[in-house]
Structure 1
């Protein structure tokens, strides 16, 4: 035992004055409660407890906020702080004869209309230990329920010190000039009052009045309306010879083309059309020079009187379909309702078909142009609909695309582009669409691609004539003609004719006696210069009959008895041609 005592004595700590030892360390007495530092619910800093979150410093240390009253007493010194398992909160368990009221334990002698001493006083024991209301000097009564003779009753039935009342120009008085409320900042000195001012106001008269910042010309000097007016309804009402938001300008007599602005006479042509700015002269971003605004750097003039940020100019116009919001030396376009802003441009929502994060929106499905002012899509001629999402009157939907009627064939129930063997192209110079055909297919119209095996060739050239001689149609995939009834042949060029007649392309069934056959296999009626009547050629014009056909005089060299072309060729369409 002696050995233990010696060790204990050897390890004892001697703390400085006003400090005590806790767990082997010295702490200020103001931080130690019941042998703990801040009840183990806070830290000791600068000789005072800084309590943990949801804890407050009371006269007995750090306790849950639900148990510390407005005077920093724990349950008003008439209860203990306990945890309610049912509601999961801390609450005051009050002594017998006291009732819980928020974070306080209050005696019924101090309660009236669910308020403790009418919210003004403090419940305390008198010299006989009987609880009663101790009222501040501005109230009186058993429950501090009425204003005392030295106090003023405000419009909302509050009792305040007369020093907080501000006299108005009409002779009435308002608490804190009508812009705040009066309170006692120091509970130990209830004769010291001050105003808590509303936002946008400033404390004046040693904190006993509140004045709108719109009326204060110098906060350091507590100067109102430059000492040349009074503040009414948060605005300065200036004396007759002064003007300005804060009566800071003495009036001058200006010329007929001038206006008094900001203490000087300024040409009316420099006064901004929109005066909602720091300065109405050149929109506050330039100087007036000979009646014209000279704008600051980064600003440009609109008309003679407005200086606007260059960033608000789009296509030479000031924020089309919006307005320019100016902040300091920069500005940006703010779009009107129904418009979407991107990159300084206001796009009509009615034209937008898709929006992107980092790029301008897609307008009219990229199938037309948007009229920004009217907010409507003007579609390319292939397209239609409100947002150009439909095909136009001159096109049809084919495989998800609008194809011009000029490129559509109608040989099947459903329209087919270029008879299925070509693509539709646009000639931007001529403004037309036509079919560009695949290899081995030829175009006979803007909308048709036909396999060349189905086409007849015109005599004497490489040009193609008609599809299947006009007597059938081409099976484009097979590259072969499908002939009409009574017709046959590779190109449907042969027709079943009566005996003694033969089918001639373009002429029908003709007497064989009228048919002229050339060395290249081509056949014509009466040499192409006459008509077959009753099995005989009747020549037209100056042509004359020769060997059952019609021959031009040029082919006979003036000799009606021949021979044709001096016997060295054949007459084709009135012109000599060497026979093959």
Structure 2
């Protein structure tokens, strides 16, 4: 390269790179690079020939600039917020980056990466997300479970990907499709963009829940927010059948049947009314016991 061409290369600003901000160029700024741009605020590398900063992750690097469509600052002084798959977003054709690197089906791309997952406001002072109601997580990338977000203190708030593999999460099933995308650990390679984002309650129980022997088909605490409590269970003393035997009985939700020795939960033995707020039985006349499982021999029927 001749000295004249080299001098021109130093003095003339280069073409703008995609999603990068090119700043007013002077010979001094071009030669001395980013010293006059606060040395990229300690969050980037100076590219003197381009007269611009290349910011690090968290301050608008190339990937973040592509997702956002812009850089938040020319000198890497303004932080970005955590990114997650958008809860909304418009699909774009495959082969384009208009959707910001989202995931979708075979004919399009959707749910692009977005700051705060498009469900929160980015605080540019701190680089943290202020989430909208019913969303949580560093990138507002998780739904809040009912019961004030904590399942009323009587359950665990878990994502669908985890619940799909649990034997005690409702609806009960022993015929789990382990090839389903919800069983795969890495959401980057599945179409189930929401497998970690959508969350629900798996309620607590003092007894084992499931379809196996000595397990019950229903948990002690129940309801979407685990705020209701079942009453003691028992066999109806007025019938010859064992109502607590759930062998080959279809579990609530219609997904699985009880194995041999599986138990049905019968609130108050069918001979009382359950107060689901307190989990206590109000027995019908002629019956008594914690589960109304006893019959008064002197009662008239």
Q: TM-score range by the shorter chain?
A: 0.3 to 0.5
Q: Which has the larger radius of gyration?
A: 1
Q: Which has the higher strand share?
A: 1
Higher RCO (Cα < 8 Å, 6 or more apart):
2
TM-score by length of 1: 0.21
